[in-house]
Structure 1
Amino acid sequence: MAESRSKLPYVFLSATLVLSGIVAVVLALRHRQTEIPAGNTEPKVTAVDLKPKPVIPTLDGRPPGADPATKPGDLGLGPVAADPAALVARIGKALEAGDLETAAKLIGKDALDAHTAERLKALVGGSNFKLRQPPVREVGELERNELIRWALELDGADLGRDRIYLDLRRKDGQWLVEKLALPPGKEEGVPKAVLVDSLGIADAFLQAALHQNFQLAKEFVDPSTVSDAKIAGLCILFEEGNYRLRAEKPLRSLLNKPGAAGYLANVETADGKQAAQFSLMLGQSSPTASWKVGEVNLDQLLDDYAKRFAGGDVYYTPLVKNPRGGDTLVLYFEFNEDQLGERTRRQLEIVAQILRTDAGKKLTISGHTDALGSKGYNDTLSEKRADVVRDFLATKGVARKQIVTEAKGMTQPRRPNFTESGADNPEGRRANRRTEIYLDF
């Protein structure tokens, strides 16, 4: 027992020496990874990177120095990203910098075949290639939460040539580019929409309305179900309500099946403080037929617009149902007034644009009043209200022969002028002091 106790100090000494050796080795390794250059007090750490360096492919999909016969399909998909906006922004930044190799790597081979690569190279190599600010825009969903479309906005004035579309697919919680669509070249003509699937048509329709391009917007609708008044009303709502498409999920997929698709359009005011929605339904008569907007339900948007501009002595809702069918544009007047306000003048400029596109079109303008005053007085006032609208349209280049006016006086109220108890109803009377413009040709 005494002998065992006498050996303990030597055991502890041996363990201490082993541990000291291990510490020395670790310190030596750290010293080899750290270099302190002369005259520099900050250490430079050389990281050990165990990952293989990525190979950046050329624009046609071949790695640098590869055999020209290598096909783009041999490379695999492009990188995935948790944030699709960041991935699209990186692609846009690379393209604007003329870094085609990085752009090709980010896009990936599935979306960038040889033909598309050559077209992209020609587009980026042009002297006028530049992105607008902000350069990236989310278009909407093709498949709810699974397949989304983004756009790189080019700095150009032509709605048919001013964006690059990228469809991104979610895979295991990450996003990668599945498809790339470029604007057409000059030799290809100017299409009405770059992409002609249901989402492409819905976006093209809304972009035309946002830019107050009534004639272009009309190209994307079924005229048997979407009236000119409905299109004009949407243009007016966007302009007067100062709405814009929401940056995040502007078009959400409601329905997506062969021959039928539906989207919920999310809009907000320019300051981002208020939001509203409306829906679009699109149809396709056959697998090879063009998609058309067949229904635009503006009820929620009209309600939001009316609430925002409520108050004062003028009622606001630019679109109402016509008893004869279809939709009617409406302009409102202050009590006992027959002059146009600034808001109604801007609305009429849109109407004038519609009529100037076809000299053979005619419209009916009917003047209306509330129930205060005599019948004779209100008949005259309603006639003046119809005439002032006709005269303004004439100053904007609309031929007077295209316009029919009617004086309805107080005979066709939209809202009750009085309550059930017989008391005055100011809110109802505000809705009745109006001029209606019937545009269903």
Structure 2
Amino acid sequence: MTWRNWARSQRAAPSWVHAPTTIDEVRRDVEHVRQQCRTIRPVGSSHSFSAAARPDDVQLNVDALRGVVALDVPGRLVTVLAGTTVRELSALLAEQGLALDNLGDIDRQTIAGAISTGTHGTGIRHQSIGASVVAATLVTAEGRALHVSETERPELLPAIRLGLGVLGVLVDVTLRCVPAFALEAIEAAVELDAVLDDWQGLLRRTDHFEFFWFAGTSLAVTKSNTRVDGPLAPRSAIGRFIDEKVLTDVGHSALLTLSALVPAASRAVNEVAARGMARGRFVEPSHRVFSAERAVRFRELEYGIPVAAMPEALREIDRALRRASLVPTFPFEVRAIGADDALLSTANGRETAYIAAHRWWREDPRPLFDVVEPILLAHDGRPHWGKLHSLRAPQLAERFPGFADFLAIRDELDPERIFASAWTKRVLGA
């Protein structure tokens, strides 16, 4: 069978695919692969743009490992199986009056995939999903279940919080939660220069701030999400349908098709898209605001850079695109997150701004990425592991402070490299 990821940027023909339903089955599968001197890669919902989940040989699908293992409401801890999606987990927590502190803008990933690739969300006083991991169980290359927590092999937690699937098969995770909260979302189309000039202030005044910029225009669509106790003021069912299905799906697809057929119309298309993207004000539970439908497929490159460097970096990208007469019709997305301790995190040891470039999946992303990537690298950029980039292990080792420590832990847990692939060899060096 042929495996393809969501973005259609990766494909493979695994020699064998297994979807275990229990941890014991995972252990048997890994032990079988080791005895046969083969390699195996775990995969969840296939939302990574990079080849992180692409197997060279055997593929292990964790989708069937779903559900809550343990829930401690007073202690605000939840343990879930690896294949549970972020959407499912958010709904389960909401029923118990809990929530994850932060979420990315896509919630279809498995929790193991989101953690293993560094899904981060936005909010300068908050951290990525992986930072909330306080314990985990993984099946190691020896086929044994290894439990890691704040009291059991705690030195492994900074590696497991972003493990790329090379330390073992993550089979369950325990996450620290927060009391459920609502977000007041205010979305508006404003002048880009105003946002860049007040970038630091917007981050500090707003719980969760991000914006989208459409190339070739002077417009930014800002999303300012503030934590509130209520009351809720949700979008109507019709409004949500128009927003998520008509504008985001059908309307965006139509605009992308038009600009692909008539490239000269791209700037005008971006003006229309920017003004139509802002949704005004609404108040909804946090998980409904953080995440949005992404029905239109695209390819993405994203780098984390120092927060203070973002305004100049984006202005450089604008100038470079104008020189290249390149007007991509997917917006740039800009976010920021607090520092964390995960060894391979883009936010390791520093508050981090993210600039993400997108290209419709039917268009070649290389011309755009070739313009954007050198600029982000020049601003001390670290690439997101789940997204597309051109770097190899020696370059990555220079950019991630915890790189050598991570490799040492990998040497301990998988010395025979049964969790390796062509991609892991490129980004980790062996």
TM over 0.5: no
Q: Shorter-normalised TM-score: what interval?
A: under 0.3
